[in-house]
């Protein structure tokens, strides 16, 4: 609405705040400085000098059923009339009493735009965080001496005192706030009443608790996914390495067995050649028959990584019989298997024992003066297969001194030692021990003990 000022002959626009929506405005009083307005919110007083509007509470503001009439003065008393009643007060007596007017929050601007929602309304958007509060109070004796103090709870701990009638806040952070303001009159008396307005500014979505919780869950999920992927990668890598190592071990074992076969065949052919040179045709024929059978067993067994212990014993018996004939029965041999072992159910790598037996015959018993003994025993202890090869030959030290071909000895022993080492990679309990035997501090043979994993036929 607008007010006409006779002294300036101009209309002044009045901004009405809040629920004031049906004003009725007539006349002026108090030295032509104040315009009084009846409205549904009460009696309004607009000061032409300060251009401020305050509300003067009355007991009966007009409603739809009780329209107001223009306020007027009688003997310096202001009368606010309605259809069924009226209110009045003496302005001179109020001025002399020094009464402090109740402060009023006239207007609120958010981002420079008028804001008319009541206190405690829906939260403001986080970008609508520039607020200006306009407030006023009324003093009939000396309006220019009114002072104010205000505080924004949630941001400020202390009150700010000023003669200005505005409070500005820029870029308020998200949160809950209550703006409070008090007024004092020209005598410095502060009003007991406090005008207040509560509002809140909602945070952006990235500052909300649910977004932070989602980020934490996302971070945990990413960490778990990375860890899970890393563990799977390590498992796959280890599985690949294991497969490669296993393949290499099998290839190495095949290579070792392929070295063993020609080595054993070469030694056997030497024995057949010996019979031929001595013109022992029957012996050569019989030897050749058993040799052929042994070769067939060796070739068949060497095709497998593991064979039954009974098949290995059959090949060893043929080998011992051939060597026994080749050396003209100069040694006795005994092959014994514990009753606790089922030879057909227990498995063993093929031709693993033969090199140790060959070494005992060729380098221990063949160099001994007189008859020798070779004992081979196989038993089960602590879930291991114990293979003991014991000869009463000349011993390792003397054999090395007399041996004409150290290369022959090292070939058979090195191959077997390598095979045991490969077994140790698959089973840490696999091992081989070689002991020198003595009688009255004199070398009396050699004992070889092999500790092999006990593998059943179902494995």
Mean pLDDT calculated for residue range 144-169: 92
**Model confidence at 21, in pLDDT bands (50, 70, 90)?**
very low
Task: DSSP for 434-450, please give it.
Answer: EEEEEETTEEEEEEEEE
Pick the closest to residue 161 from 141, 178, 130, 184 (CA basis). 184
> What domain range includes position 12?
2-97
In the three-class reduction of DSSP (H, G, I as helix; E, B as strand; rest coil), residue 103 is classed as coil
Same domain assignment for residues 285 and 337: yes
Mean pLDDT calculated for residue range 4-24: 57
Same domain assignment for residues 329 and 349: yes
End position of a domain, from candidates 35, 70, 97? 97
Question: What is the rounded CA–CA span in Å between residue 354 and residue 377?
Answer: 13
Question: What is the rounded CA–CA span in Å between residue 260 and residue 300?
Answer: 14
Same domain assignment for residues 177 and 283: no
Residue 130 within any structural domain of the chain? yes
Same domain assignment for residues 264 and 404: yes
What per-residue confidence (pLDDT) applies to 160?
94
What per-residue confidence (pLDDT) applies to 334?
92
Whether the CB-CB separation of 160 and 167 falls below 8 Å is answered with yes
Residue 214 within any structural domain of the chain? no
Same domain assignment for residues 285 and 367: yes
In the three-class reduction of DSSP (H, G, I as helix; E, B as strand; rest coil), residue 350 is classed as coil
Residue 223 within any structural domain of the chain? no
What per-residue confidence (pLDDT) applies to 64?
43
Mean pLDDT calculated for residue range 33-45: 66
CATH number at residue 184: 2.60.40.10
Same domain assignment for residues 164 and 296: no
Pick the closest to residue 190 from 218, 161, 230 (CA basis). 161
Residue 220 within any structural domain of the chain? no
Mean pLDDT calculated for residue range 59-69: 50
Question: What is the rounded CA–CA span in Å between residue 225 and residue 329?
Answer: 73
Same domain assignment for residues 67 and 160: no
Alpha-carbon distances, residue 174 vs 122, 125, 200 (angstroms):
13, 9, 7
Whether the CB-CB separation of 43 and 36 falls below 8 Å is answered with yes
Whether the CB-CB separation of 27 and 36 falls below 8 Å is answered with yes
Question: What is the rounded CA–CA span in Å between residue 85 and residue 13?
Answer: 30
Q: Enumerate helices (H) and strands (E) in the chain, giving the number of each.
A: 7, 25
Residue 65 within any structural domain of the chain? yes
Residue 251 has pLDDT above 70, yes or no: no
Residue 217 within any structural domain of the chain? no
Residue 218 within any structural domain of the chain? no
Whether the CB-CB separation of 298 and 351 falls below 8 Å is answered with yes
State the total domains in the chain.
3
Question: What is the rounded CA–CA span in Å between residue 407 and residue 409?
Answer: 5
Q: Determine how many CB atoms are found less than 10 A away from the CB of residue 288.
A: 16
Encode 38-50: b = buried (16+ Cβ within 10 Å), e = exposed: bbbbbbbbbbbeb
What per-residue confidence (pLDDT) applies to 441?
78
With pLDDT > 70 as the criterion, what percentage of the chain qualifies?
66
pLDDT in tens, 115-150: 887 877 889 999 999 999 999 887 666 667 789 999
In the three-class reduction of DSSP (H, G, I as helix; E, B as strand; rest coil), residue 108 is classed as strand
**What mean pLDDT is reported for the chain?**
77
Mean pLDDT calculated for residue range 232-254: 75
Residue 123 within any structural domain of the chain? yes
Strand 331-337 vs strand 372-381: parallel, antiparallel, or unpaired? parallel
Same domain assignment for residues 18 and 56: yes
End position of a domain, from candidates 97, 116, 148? 97
Q: What is the pTM of this model?
A: 0.46
Same domain assignment for residues 420 and 445: yes
Element (H, E) at 5: strand 2-5
Structure-model confidence comparison of residues 61 and 135, the more confident one:
135
Question: What is the rounded CA–CA span in Å between residue 30 and residue 94?
Answer: 12
Same domain assignment for residues 291 and 162: no
Question: What is the rounded CA–CA span in Å between residue 407 and residue 412?
Answer: 9
Question: What is the rounded CA–CA span in Å between residue 108 and residue 115?
Answer: 5
Same domain assignment for residues 311 and 402: yes
End position of a domain, from candidates 97, 127, 159? 97
Give the lowest-confidence range in 47-56, 59-68, 337-346, 364-373.
59-68
Same domain assignment for residues 72 and 109: no
CATH number at residue 272: 3.30.565.10
In the three-class reduction of DSSP (H, G, I as helix; E, B as strand; rest coil), residue 104 is classed as strand
Residue 236 has pLDDT above 50, yes or no: yes
In the three-class reduction of DSSP (H, G, I as helix; E, B as strand; rest coil), residue 255 is classed as helix
């Amino acid at each position: 609405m607008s007010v006409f000022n006779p002294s300036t002959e101009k209309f002044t626009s009045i901004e009405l705040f809040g629920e004031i929506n049906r004003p009725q405005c007539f006349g002026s009083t108090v030295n032509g400085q104040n315009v009084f307005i009846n409205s549904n919110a009460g009696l309004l007083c607009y000061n032409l000098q300060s251009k401020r509007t305050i509300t003067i509470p009355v007991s009966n503001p007009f409603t739809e059923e009780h329209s107001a009439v223009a306020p007027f003065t009688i003997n310096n008393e202001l009368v606010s009339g309605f259809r069924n009643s009226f209110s009045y007060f003496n302005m001179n007596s109020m001025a002399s009493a020094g009464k402090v007017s109740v402060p009023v929050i006239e207007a609120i601007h958010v981002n420079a735009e008028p804001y008319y929602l009541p206190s405690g309304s829906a939260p403001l958007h986080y970008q609508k965080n520039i607020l200006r509060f306009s407030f006023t109070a009324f003093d009939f004796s000396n309006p220019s001496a009114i002072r104010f103090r205000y505080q924004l709870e949630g941001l400020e701990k202390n009150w700010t005192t000023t003669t200005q009638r505005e409070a500005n806040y820029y870029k308020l952070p998200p949160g809950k706030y209550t703006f409070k303001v008090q007024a004092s009159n020209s005598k410095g008396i502060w009003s007991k009443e406090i005008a207040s307005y509560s509002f809140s500014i909602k945070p952006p979505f990235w500052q909300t608790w649910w977004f932070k919780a989602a980020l934490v869950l996302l971070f945990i999920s990413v960490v778990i996914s990375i860890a899970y992927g890393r563990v799977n990668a390590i498992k796959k890598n280890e599985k690949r390495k294991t497969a490669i190592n296993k393949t290499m071990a099998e290839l190495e074992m095949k290579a070792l067995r392929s070295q063993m076969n020609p080595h054993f065949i070469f030694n056997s052919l030497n024995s057949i050649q010996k019979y031929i040179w001595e013109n022992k045709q029957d012996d050569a024929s019989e030897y050749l028959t058993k040799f052929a059978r042994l070769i067939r067993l060796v070739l068949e067994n060497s095709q497998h990584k593991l064979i039954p212990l009974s098949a290995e014993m059959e090949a060893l018996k043929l080998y011992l019989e051939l060597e026994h004939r080749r050396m003209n029965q100069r040694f006795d041999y005994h092959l014994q298997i514990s009753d606790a072992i089922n030879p057909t159910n227990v498995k063993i790598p093929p031709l693993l024992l033969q090199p140790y037996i060959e070494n005992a015959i060729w380098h221990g018993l063949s160099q001994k003066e007189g008859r020798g003994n070779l004992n081979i025993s196989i038993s089960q202890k602590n879930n291991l297969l114990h293979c003991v090869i014991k000869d009463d030959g000349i011993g390792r030290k003397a054999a090395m001194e007399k041996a004409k071909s150290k290369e022959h000895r090292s070939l058979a022993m090195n191959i077997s030692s390598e095979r045991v080492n490969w077994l140790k990679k698959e089973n840490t309990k696999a091992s081989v021990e070689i002991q020198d035997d003595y009688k009255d501090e004199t070398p009396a043979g050699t004992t070889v003990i092999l500790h092999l994993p006990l593998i059943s036929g179902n494995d």
